[in-house]
Structure 1
Amino acid sequence: MKTKKLTISSLLIAIGVIAGNIIFIPVGVAKCFPVQATINVISAVLLGPGYGVAIAFCISLLRNVLGTGSLLAFPGSMIGVLLAGILYRKTKMNLLAVVGEIFGTGIIGGILAFPIANIIMGKKVGALFFVAPFLISTIGGSLIAFFILRVPRFKKTC
């Protein structure tokens, strides 16, 4: 079972890094990636919060190393998938995983991006500047994941 989870994790990381180069929405100083939210919800449901956080971290790290990402990807994606995974583990409801991802990435991650942008990146923005763009990408990506997870064959993967 561990080999299967690692294989699925690797595939999700590859999809996240490659699709991140193709599908993104520039909003302010951030690059918003709906693909990340999709992968967050799918990994939270299929693999759990631990694997989900590791996948989000790897995607964010690789995108930054390759020059296609932003430091702002770390707080949103990791908190969103953690909350999605915890809510799914407690309830076994895909919808609550989606809600966890949206709240974790859109609200909490958007607020936590402020000090990173301000202190580390030197961008002078308001404290809630990132909430709207993070919400836009996470709502879109989370809804895509919700519909993907409704496919019967997809549920049997793990």
Structure 2
Amino acid sequence: MNRTRLLTTMAVFVAIGTIGAHLLWFPTGIAKAYPVQHAVNVMAAVILGPIPAVIIAFVIGLLRNLLGIGTLLAFPGGMVGALLAGYLYRFTKKKPMAAVGELIGTGIIGSLLSVPYANVLMGQSVGALAFVPGFLISSSTGAILGLLVLSRVNHSQVVPNQLHT
């Protein structure tokens, strides 16, 4: 895949994730849940691979924070989920495993990483149960949405197979 196509595809995913943050989100304590972010993580992990998916998650989190619609918790949650989704898909070549990676990466690992992150960077003294339920709901909803979109994209040949890295 050429660099221009890769960067353009990444930019489209960033746009979808950033615009989606305005359209669909819900509060989960001091965090905000963005299912569209998790859908983008799954789609980017399958189409582009783990590293581009992590970069996309970082840029979406950064833009959400710069626009005042996100929290610092976007970074540990979104990036870990994208990474695990990408690697599970890469090793298994099964799209549902990307969704499992997103669910485990964001819903469990990302939520647990958010505890010290919130304590140190946000001055919030919270326990693991403050994040796990909301992160699990958001990541599972988004992962299912991402799988549904991927099932439609695959049939319509919108994304050529050459995008896989």
Fold shared by both chains (TM-score > 0.5): yes
Distance apart, 1:9 and its partner CA = 0.5
Distance apart, 1:64 and its partner CA = 0.6
C-alpha RMSD of matched pairs (Å):
1.2
Normalised TM-score (structure 1): 0.96
For the residues of structure 2 that align with 1:155 and 1:50, how far apart are their CA atoms?
22
Over the matched positions of the two proteins, sequence identity in percent amounts to 49
For the residues of structure 1 that align with 2:46 and 2:115, how far apart are their CA atoms?
29
For the residues of structure 2 that align with 1:137 and 1:125, how far apart are their CA atoms?
19
Stretch of structure 1 that moved more, 1-10 or 25-34: 1-10
Taking a change above 3 Å as real, the CA distance of residues 47 and 121 of structure 1, as seen in their structure-2 partners, is same
For the residues of structure 2 that align with 1:138 and 1:154, how far apart are their CA atoms?
26
- Give the ranges of 4+ consecutive aligned residues of structure 1 lying more than 2 Å apart after TM superposition: 154-158
Provide structure 2 residue ranges, at least 5 long, that are not aligned to the other structure. none
Distance apart, 1:127 and its partner CA = 2.4
Partner of 1:17: 18
SS in 2 for 1:31: strand
Partner of 1:113: 114
- In the comparison of the two structures, how many residue pairs are matched? 158
SS in 1 for 2:32: strand
Partner of 1:130: 131
Distance apart, 1:40 and its partner CA = 0.1
Deviation string, structure 1 residues 101-142 (Cα, Å, up to 9, x no partner): 000000000000001111211112112320110000000000
For the residues of structure 1 that align with 2:128 and 2:28, how far apart are their CA atoms?
15
For the residues of structure 1 that align with 2:80 and 2:64, how far apart are their CA atoms?
18
1:25-40 aligned within 5 A? 25-40=26-41
Deviation string, structure 1 residues 55-75 (Cα, Å, up to 9, x no partner): 000000111111111000100
Partner of 1:153: 156
Distance apart, 1:35 and its partner CA = 0.3
1:4-153 aligned within 5 A? 4-151=5-152, 152-153=155-156
Taking a change above 3 Å as real, the CA distance of residues 50 and 99 of structure 1, as seen in their structure-2 partners, is same
Q: Could you tell me whether the CA contact under 8 Å between 1:81 and 1:101 is conserved in 2?
A: yes
For the residues of structure 2 that align with 1:155 and 1:127, how far apart are their CA atoms?
40
Provide structure 1 residue ranges, at least 5 long, that are not aligned to the other structure. none
For the residues of structure 1 that align with 2:65 and 2:120, how far apart are their CA atoms?
18
Distance apart, 1:2 and its partner CA = 2.0
Q: Could you tell me whether the CA contact under 8 Å between 1:148 and 1:154 is conserved in 2?
A: no
Q: Could you tell me whether the CA contact under 8 Å between 1:149 and 1:155 is conserved in 2?
A: no
Return the letter of the residue paired with 1:72. L
Normalised TM-score (structure 2): 0.92
